[in-house]
Structure 1
Amino acid sequence: MTDALSLSAALDALVAVATAAGVDAATARREGECLAATIAEPARGAFVDWSEQTGRPRSSEEFMDAASRGRRYRSAPTPAMNGLALARSPQAPSYAKALADVALAAASLGEESPRAVGNAATAAAAQLGEAAPTAVPTTAEGTGLDLTQPHEQARTGDHFLAQMMDQLTQVQRKIANLDLQQSDVRPPVELPPTTQGPGVDGAAPVATQPPPAEPDKPEEPAEPEPEPKSVEELLAELDVLVGLTDVKGEIHRQAAILRVEGLRKDAGLTSPTITRHMIFNGNPGTGKTTVARLVAGIYRALGLLTKGQLVEVDRSELVAGFLGQTAMKTAEVVRSAEGGVLFIDEAYSLAGDQYGQEAVDTLVKEMEDKRDDLVVIVAGYPVPMEVFIAQNPGLESRFRTQIDFVDYTDDELVRIFGVMATAAEYDAGDPVLERLRELLAAVQRGPQFGNARYVRNVLEAAIGRHAWRLRDIEAPTIEQLRTIEADDLDPLVADGPTEPVDWDPEPSTEPSTEPSTVEEEPA
């Protein structure tokens, strides 16, 4: 076996693919760093390896900040991946594979951690969620994968990590295959080897030249880029989401209104200006971000936005440490979202101090200046959002559409768990689902309950425990590699790491305070 791809090499490869795809290199690298941090967060000593591999100063605070920003990438595509998928870019499969390589490398940071592998598997599965077909194959034969082959990049001598890497790599390969099928992009043709093997006398390989190109053969015209997703396709993706009946109806209504408005404008008829900005009211994990991503694509398909990307932020990404800097920071975020949707989670946190007010004032000005190519969606708990909007006249006049996201029922959460497990190519039978129902019945509900986020955390922990179960099996069968058992859904690890995180391996040089690792990520 060969050495695993390092995080540093994986990040370099991600930047190279991003450059070829027209994605800003710095943006791609930051996405990769945040993705790696959130995957490795449960592993003891991971921040030391992460700092070394990214070239950043050894700082637990910087690692934690990156992990916090990257948590959303464990359940949804990164902004750059989302943009490439919406545009059906031929580079989308390559970018997704590069992100999966980053996830694979991040799983080996720090000490062995089954929870980190669970994070990596679900994050890898999420990166092409926008581009994957609705019907995901549920058998190994449906993917064309040989799950019995050892991982070609596992670390030498590390049997347990090799076992975990095997499973993660299968998820990565399956996702890449599905995306190639969806976007109708043919896999690259393997070139002939550039060296010939050693002779019978054991001589070293000798470099050979590729065959010369035929001078008279005309070059084949480049294949046209596929069309971006249509409104009908995006609405169909909305309709297959679990639950959200009222939300789906309102988005369909908004799409119809905006379509007619565009047709009237094209026909030279007058039409009232319709505010496109929205308020999403709901508790965490109720699908607000997922729907916002689809809204961005729908608006692009309707010609209301030029790019259709989703940029998701919270207070920390808008507010700076000093007055005056917040305006610049907020304006920079808005510029990155121009042409798409700016999604501000927990927007009510901007109320109550002069720093937040400076961000709001800047946001209102930017919304006016970029009103033709920017949509802003603010989201959060229902009551705080009502107070926040009412206290800001500049916002109240711009947000006329409110959509309420209700909590999922137990049946809907069980269905969501099944969809997530299938997307990651794991089998969750009836005993597993019954165990999940027991967990759901016992968990305390309230505004802080994570809804779909909760069941995703359960699945991530189950994947890690599944890998730990197989650590001593030299050649697990396909069924063993795929099957999650009821005992894997341990309630003690459903919402947190499987072991404490060592943020301070060198007490003499680093602060001794251990930050909390409990997840409080955006919805």
Structure 2
Amino acid sequence: MTLKEALDALSALATTAGIDPAVARAEGESLAATVAGPARGAYVDWCAETGHGTAEDFTTAASRGRRYRVAQTPAMASLASSGSAHAAAYAQALSDVALAGSFLGEENARSIGNAATAAAAQLGGSPGQVAPMTTREHVPGVADHFLQQVMEQSRIVRDKLAALEGTQIVRDPGAGLVETDPIQTAPPPETPAAPEAPKAPKAEEPQEPEKPATSVEELLAELDDLVGLTDVKAEIHRQAAVLRVEGLRAKAGLEGLTITRHLIFNGNPGTGKTTVARLVAGIYRALGLLSKGQLVEVDRSELVAGYLGQTAMKTADIVKSAIGGVLFIDEAYSLAGDQYGQEAIDTLVKEMEDHRGDLVVIVAGYPLPMAVFIGQNPGLESRFRTEINFPDYTDDELVAIFDVMATGAQYDAGEGVQDRLRELLSQVERGPSFGNARYVRNVLEAAIGRHAWRLREVDAPTLEQLRLLLAEDLAPPAEVVEPFTEMEEPVSDVPDVQTESAAEEQS
């Protein structure tokens, strides 16, 4: 399936699911771009498949889509949070887009690793989970060797997809796909129909009931299952308890203080801010404070336009898509300092007031710039009174996160893998730009590609070989972005991998 075909299928399904097909297509284009980022010449193929004309369009889309490698797109999140019967099919369509993106440009293992993690995120699993792969027309080349191995590994995920229609899927960023009790539907007939009796038309079959919303207790349990973040968990529990009691008091007709629900998340990249924001959206919905509970994640580029006057409309449109849920603004401090950002802030403050009953805004970024950002604007300072600090992960926690990601991807960490990861962590420079869990995810993505490359000449690998990651598969820090530059194979036989943008590592 080509990218154009995958995008057309996604748009058609979006219409059926009640999603604006233009929004769905834009999300799909960004997803494909971020998957294809490491491949040389990918932007040429991407432009040809999408109808866009410049490398800048590709770069912008890839930057916007980088979050889709670890989290569901807003449209997918909306379907999942509402328990839509179309959620499973839409997740499959997004995974097809991710796979199609991995074929853009010169094929290479890193793009396959990106496709795997991105598709897993759309399916609601942990970053790194193997994506469902479909067959395609054979194209000679080294990439086909490791692609066949990835396709073998995908069978388990396809089985899970097949079971989605009757199984509730709990999104746990720390544990992959978690299957709970099947949803009770109308029982099948006690005896099969007679052979000569025709099947009832599909149009007359009863519609599958929507899945029940996740409860506060279940969402808090998901929060507690995350690695580390002890103080963050305690604060979210406290917020949930306070808001629950305030809701009960309001129902009882008692007067109460107006509690500001908007939050500030302070922390370095990869410390779990987006994951926790997604759980907060679900918790607020379960408490009855939000009508939908979706998470819309944006940064400055998605709020600010190129001309004064356009920013207000652009910001208002973003807020409109977040009504009923949480608007998560990453690196919010970047809005300060110029008239365009100020226009976005002024619009945001107005929209927050107009929709204060069904909108929560979470702003996130580095601690010091966020303090300056909030303090500069009285409208923000009065609305954001609760700060939650996300500490950097320890080495032990990062190793645990790697194990969770690898397990969710149906991989086994072989002997020496943890020691190798600790060695890598000891070598990488720690600072505000260190990616924390994002760095570990990059290591895993590179390891998935190296593992596939290592098995490229094994005609019939065993299940153990398909699952086993070795210490040699883990690249040193300098090779996480370009993992195939120092191999024993001739350079002419090795796919080139371009360096991903700094935004990928800094986000």
In the alignment, which residue of structure 1 is the partner of 2:18? 22
**Counterpart among 288, 299, 302 of residue 303 in structure 1:** 288
Q: Does 1:226 align with 2:208?
A: no
Amino acid at match of 2:416: P
Structure 1 residue 322, shift from structure 2 partner: 1.4
2-structure distance, mates of 1:259, 1:152:
45
Q: Does 1:284 align with 2:280?
A: no
Which SS does the other structure have where 1:229 is aligned?
Answer: coil
In the alignment, which residue of structure 2 is the partner of 1:260? 245
Q: Does 1:101 align with 2:96?
A: yes
**Counterpart among 148, 153, 173 of residue 166 in structure 1:** 148
Q: Does 1:490 align with 2:446?
A: no
Q: How does 1:340-355 map to 2 (within 5 A)?
A: 340-355=325-340
1-structure distance, mates of 2:203, 2:427:
69
In the alignment, which residue of structure 2 is the partner of 1:517? 501
In the alignment, which residue of structure 1 is the partner of 2:168? 182
Amino acid at match of 2:112: V
2-structure distance, mates of 1:379, 1:233:
25
2-structure distance, mates of 1:305, 1:126:
24
1-structure distance, mates of 2:244, 2:153:
39
Q: Does 1:87 align with 2:82?
A: yes
In the alignment, which residue of structure 2 is the partner of 1:422? 407
Structure 1 residue 522, shift from structure 2 partner: 5.9
Structure 1 residue 493, shift from structure 2 partner: 5.5
- Cα 1:390/1:176, change in 2 over 3 Å: farther
Amino acid at match of 1:442: Q
Deviations 1:270-315 (A, max 9, x none): 1111000000000000000000011011111111111111111111
- Cα 1:64/1:456, change in 2 over 3 Å: same
Which SS does the other structure have where 2:105 is aligned?
Answer: coil
2-structure distance, mates of 1:18, 1:169:
26
Taking structure 1 as the reference length, the TM-score comes to: 0.84
Asked whether the 8 Å contact 2:295–2:325 carries over to 1, the reply is yes
1-structure distance, mates of 2:67, 2:285:
22
In the alignment, which residue of structure 1 is the partner of 2:175? none
2-structure distance, mates of 1:218, 1:391:
58
In the alignment, which residue of structure 1 is the partner of 2:227? 242
Amino acid at match of 2:42: A
CA RMSD between the two structures: 2.8
Q: Does 1:75 align with 2:70?
A: yes
Q: How does 1:70-469 map to 2 (within 5 A)?
A: 70-129=65-124, 153-158=135-140, 160-170=142-152, 172-178=154-160, 180=164, 181-183=167-169, 184=182, 219-469=204-454
Structure 1 residue 212, shift from structure 2 partner: 5.4
Deviations 1:129-177 (A, max 9, x none): 36x8xxx9x9x9xx9x9xxxxx761432425333333344456553454
Structure 1 residue 68, shift from structure 2 partner: 0.5
Deviations 1:462-518 (A, max 9, x none): 111111112222222222221111111111554313469xxxxxxxxxxxxx99634
Asked whether the 8 Å contact 2:293–2:325 carries over to 1, the reply is yes
In the alignment, which residue of structure 2 is the partner of 1:49? 45
Taking structure 2 as the reference length, the TM-score comes to: 0.87
Asked whether the 8 Å contact 1:495–1:519 carries over to 2, the reply is no
Q: How does 1:495-510 map to 2 (within 5 A)?
A: 495-498=480-483
- Cα 1:98/1:225, change in 2 over 3 Å: same
Deviations 1:3-47 (A, max 9, x none): xx1111111111222222222211111111111000101001111
Asked whether the 8 Å contact 1:118–1:464 carries over to 2, the reply is yes
Q: Which runs of 5+ in 1 are unaligned?
A: 146-150, 188-209, 501-513
Which SS does the other structure have where 1:182 is aligned?
Answer: strand
**Counterpart among 475, 495, 505 of residue 460 in structure 2:** 475
Amino acid at match of 2:257: P
Structure 1 residue 178, shift from structure 2 partner: 3.5
Asked whether the 8 Å contact 1:68–1:521 carries over to 2, the reply is no
2-structure distance, mates of 1:177, 1:326:
45
1-structure distance, mates of 2:14, 2:153:
22
- Cα 1:214/1:227, change in 2 over 3 Å: closer
In the alignment, which residue of structure 1 is the partner of 2:5? 9
- Cα 1:112/1:254, change in 2 over 3 Å: same
Asked whether the 8 Å contact 1:96–1:176 carries over to 2, the reply is no
- Cα 1:301/1:167, change in 2 over 3 Å: farther
1-structure distance, mates of 2:88, 2:72:
12
In the alignment, which residue of structure 2 is the partner of 1:192? none
Which SS does the other structure have where 1:344 is aligned?
Answer: strand
Q: Which has the larger radius of gyration?
A: 1
Which SS does the other structure have where 2:387 is aligned?
Answer: strand
Asked whether the 8 Å contact 2:66–2:504 carries over to 1, the reply is no
1-structure distance, mates of 2:502, 2:374:
30
Asked whether the 8 Å contact 1:296–1:340 carries over to 2, the reply is yes
Asked whether the 8 Å contact 2:324–2:359 carries over to 1, the reply is yes
2-structure distance, mates of 1:262, 1:177:
42
In the alignment, which residue of structure 2 is the partner of 1:508? none
Which SS does the other structure have where 2:142 is aligned?
Answer: helix
2-structure distance, mates of 1:317, 1:327:
12
User: In percent, how many aligned pairs have the same letter?
Assistant: 66
Asked whether the 8 Å contact 1:154–1:161 carries over to 2, the reply is no
- Cα 1:293/1:348, change in 2 over 3 Å: same
Asked whether the 8 Å contact 2:264–2:362 carries over to 1, the reply is yes
- Cα 1:170/1:241, change in 2 over 3 Å: farther
Asked whether the 8 Å contact 1:171–1:424 carries over to 2, the reply is no
Structure 1 residue 360, shift from structure 2 partner: 0.7
Size of the aligned set, in residue pairs, is: 469
2-structure distance, mates of 1:218, 1:52:
38
Asked whether the 8 Å contact 1:77–1:127 carries over to 2, the reply is yes
Amino acid at match of 2:66: R
Deviations 1:93-145 (A, max 9, x none): 11111111111111111112111111111111222236x8xxx9x9x9xx9x9
Amino acid at match of 1:182: Q
Structure 1 residue 461, shift from structure 2 partner: 0.8
1-structure distance, mates of 2:184, 2:478:
41
